[in-house]
Amino acid sequence: MKQYINNKHMSFNIKDFAKRYLTGFILGACLFSIVGSYAAVTFASNEVTYNNSSSGLNATNVKSAIDELYKLCK
């Protein structure tokens, strides 16, 4: 395989470079999609309302209810 860069300090081939680049790209895409999904769910849960008359909670939306239940379980 031909060397992409060949000197005293740096030596790697195109196959290794492509493998590292693609691995970084795939990991970055996965991380971006996970963070984006989390943000979408978090923002959407603020807008979902529910009837709290039978639960005894003070919350009026799903996110607040989950936060309130979490605090009660601590």
Q: What percent of the chain has pLDDT over 90?
A: 0
Among the listed residues 35, 31, 69, the one whose alpha carbon sits nearest the alpha carbon of residue 52 = 69
- What pLDDT does residue 62 have? 81
Look at residue 52 and tell me whether its pLDDT is greater than 60: yes
- What pLDDT does residue 29 have? 83
Look at residue 39 and tell me whether its pLDDT is greater than 80: no
Give Cβ neighbours of residue 64 (< 8 Å, ≥ 6 apart): 58
- What pLDDT does residue 26 have? 86
Instruction: Write out the two tokens for 58.
Output: 């003070």
- What pLDDT does residue 42 have? 64
